[in-house]
Copies of this chain bind each other. A is one copy, B any other.
Amino acid sequence: MSVVFSADLEDKNQEIGEIFTPRFDLCGLMTSVVTDACSGDLLMLAYMNAESIRLTLETGIAYFWSRSRKSLWKKGETSGNVFYIEEILIDCDQDALWLKVHVSGKKVACHTGARSCFYRRMTMDNDVIILK
């Protein structure tokens, strides 16, 4: 007979259960991976607190927590590039979210004007890491 510790049981419930038992970090945030629902491309990483998760699920529009401004952030409120939610998935240990979205407006996710925040490739050149 195998002994199951309560911590293991808790982990198991978190992994297979239908109950939302989020593991926020010490700042009350969870990392959110945002991909384009059509192309599948990774658009950006952002952070959500309990309020932004609830607002996002209720409205179908992505809300985040801005760590720099320390405030709730409706993505696209000023730029017009709103993220409309296609689907939200949560990971095994409930500390990360995957948002599949449709971007409105100019379909730009990054503040630099790029469609995605990930626009540079990393390579090694003579032991030096180069971005291109």
Contacts and interface: CB of A to CB of B under 8 A. Distances in A.
Secondary structure at the A interface, as helix, strand, loop or mixed, is: strand
A111 B92 contact: yes
A110 B93 CA distance: 10
A107 to B, nearest CB: 16
Contacts of A89: 42, 118-122
Interface in A1-56: 15-20, 31, 33, 35, 39-42, 44-45, 53-54
A117 B84 CA distance: 23
B123 A57 contact: yes
Number of copies: 2
Given A20-B130, A132-B18, A92 B121 contact: no
A91 B18 contact: no
A72 interface: no
Contact of A18 (B20, B31, B93, B130): B130
B97 A122 contact: yes
Given A122-B97, A124-B57, A131 B91 contact: no
B131 A117 contact: no
A71 interface: no
Interface of A: 15-20, 31, 33, 35, 39-42, 44-45, 53-54, 57-58, 87-93, 96-98, 110-112, 114, 117-124, 128-132
